[in-house]
Amino acid sequence: ASDLESSSVADPASIEDMQQLCTHRHDLDENGGEVVEVRVQNTVTIAKEMEQWVASGNVRDVFKCVVDDMGGYFAPFPMQNTLHLRVYKHKRGRFLSKNEFQQPESCVSLLPAKACAAVQVGPSMYDVVEKDMRDIPSILGTIRKEWDEKTSQNSMTSHALYGLLRDLILARNAVPKIADFHDRLEVDVLITGCEASLWIGEQFASDLQNLFPALRVVAMSANKVIGVLSNTRGSAPMSGFAFSSRTMSLKKTIILSLSHSGQTFPTLHATHTLRKLCGDRVFVVTGSVDSKMSAAVGQLSYVGAPWLARTWTTFAGWRPAEALTVSTVAFHQTLTELLLCLARCAVNETDAAFAAAAGLKLEEKDLDDMWRLNLASTQLAIPEILGVDAKGQTAPSKVHASLKKQGRTWALHVLEGPYAWCLSAAYICLTV
């Protein structure tokens, strides 16, 4: 299953009930290693047991750290004395205290987040694919509005990326070229992902390369990235493709990791690995800010967390449908808005040397044409195709009706084989 739609979620009708029952979440430390023990027992019983264990010194011998009289256990929430946790941090080599656990970055409050504002939870629909398709116009409107606001999170991340690209281009132009061989090794932008995310990333890579011809933009599967960097450490090319320290250099590379779910294993693992190599030059694009990949680049999701400008969100949220509909469109639109933002910044650049150094050929009139096409697509064409307006209300159109008619005709062609088998079986049953 593609990572764009394979996130594990509950039925939309049960989300409200889940929100009433579940108020907080604790994410395990994937980098340092962490174990959480959950114990349902009353405080007095645990205290008596731990008092004997701590006094014997066994707990210190096992965990090699200082523990309190409760043996590391604590009741995480007030007004209850039956649920107890014990959290051991491997990297720190000690237990987590109650005060540390209750910090907002550790015990995340599951309040409605801005990243999920575009996803409206309504009554349960039999056809989840239809629901996703009806959400497309409203989500596209949210994405468009996000980039119109200069202080929005996506806009801030886009300008942070442009700043790195600008500095990279100008720095390279300032240094005289010594050897062509070294230039061929340098990768300026690496875009990584899996399956549908990677295919969309490849399109974005070609568009970014055309916008800045001086850059070397490479799109690569996250499986290839972790296959080399996590095992052989780039010492030799893997069989079937050439990617190693002998063919590519990531010393100055800017990374874009793409995953709708934000937890696709290869992409998440590649993001962790690349983060160690490239530091804060790693950016991620996900369906929600509250994801493992956002956390991998240091972006916390609790209310009021500082914005690090390393994450873009598509506002599509988690989707249970297998078919690639709203998540794919939202991903395309997010990267389109990112490209337009980078183009606008480049065209308005005050440094005269930048355009020549970047190989920029785009002019203001070209940018206006692209902006008008984008607006016509999101606000006019797509609602007409889907027969739904930006508010999620049915908006009948000739285009939508024509497409549905063609779809039914195509469906009859697809089902011609099964129909023939059923009729043949019926004929045999009735005549033999």
What is the distance between the alpha carbons of residues 190 and 217, in angstroms, rounded to a whole number?
Answer: 6
Higher per-residue confidence, 235 vs 216: 216
Write the CB contacts of 429 (distance below 8 Å, at least 6 apart in sequence). none
- Residue 314 has a pLDDT of 94
The answer to which of 54-68, 175-189, 321-335, 388-402 has the lowest mean pLDDT is 175-189
Q: Band the pLDDT of 406: cuts 50, 70, 90.
A: very high
Is residue 215 a contact partner of residue 189, using CB atoms and an 8 Å limit? yes
pLDDT, position 236: 56
**Residues 331, 313: Cα–Cα separation, whole Å:** 9
- Residue 403 φ/ψ, nearest 5 degrees: -65, -40
The least confident of 110-124, 294-308, 382-396 is: 110-124
Tokens of 280: 């804060």
Model confidence at 204: pLDDT above 80: yes
Six-digit token pair at 275?
């983060």
Q: In the β-sheet with 282-286, what is the strand arrangement from edge to edge? A: 217-221, 189-193, 254-258, 282-286, 311-313
Q: What whole-number percentage of the chain has pLDDT above 90? A: 50
Nearest to 97 by CA among 105, 109, 88: 88
Over residues 392-421, the mean pLDDT reads: 92
Checking 269-273 for CB contacts under 8 A at 24+ apart, the result is: 269/222, 269/226, 269/230, 270/192, 270/222, 270/225, 270/226, 270/229, 271/296, 271/297, 272/30, 272/31, 272/296, 273/225, 273/226, 273/229, 273/230
**pLDDT at 123 (0 to 100):** 45
What pTM was computed for the model? 0.79
Mean pLDDT, all residues of the chain? 84
CA distances from 387 to 126, 139, 169, 340 (A): 19, 15, 45, 27
The pLDDT of residue 113 is above 60: no
Amino acid in position 3: D
Helix, strand, or coil (residue 363): coil
- Which whole number is the average pLDDT over 269-286? 94
27 vs 7, higher pLDDT? 27
Of 9-18, 100-109, 130-139, 321-330, give the lowest mean pLDDT range: 9-18
Averaged pLDDT, 348-371: 90
Which one of 16-20, 126-130, 190-194 scores highest in mean pLDDT? 190-194
Q: What is the pLDDT of residue 231?
A: 57
CB 248 within 8 A of CB 218: yes
Residue 4: pLDDT band with limits 50, 70, 90: very low
Q: How many Cα atoms sit within 13 Å of 148 on the Cβ side?
A: 8
Residue 394 has pLDDT above 60, yes or no: yes
pLDDT over threshold 70, residue 3: no
* Secondary-structure percent of the chain, ordered helix, strand, coil, rounded to 5: 50, 10, 35
DSSP secondary structure, 157-202, as one string: HHHHHHHHHHHHHHHHHHSPP--HHHHHHB-SEEEEE-HHHHHHHH
pLDDT above 80 (res 184) = no
CB 255 within 8 A of CB 192: yes
Copy the structure tokens of residue 106: 């550790």
Does position 119 have pLDDT exceeding 50, yes or no? no
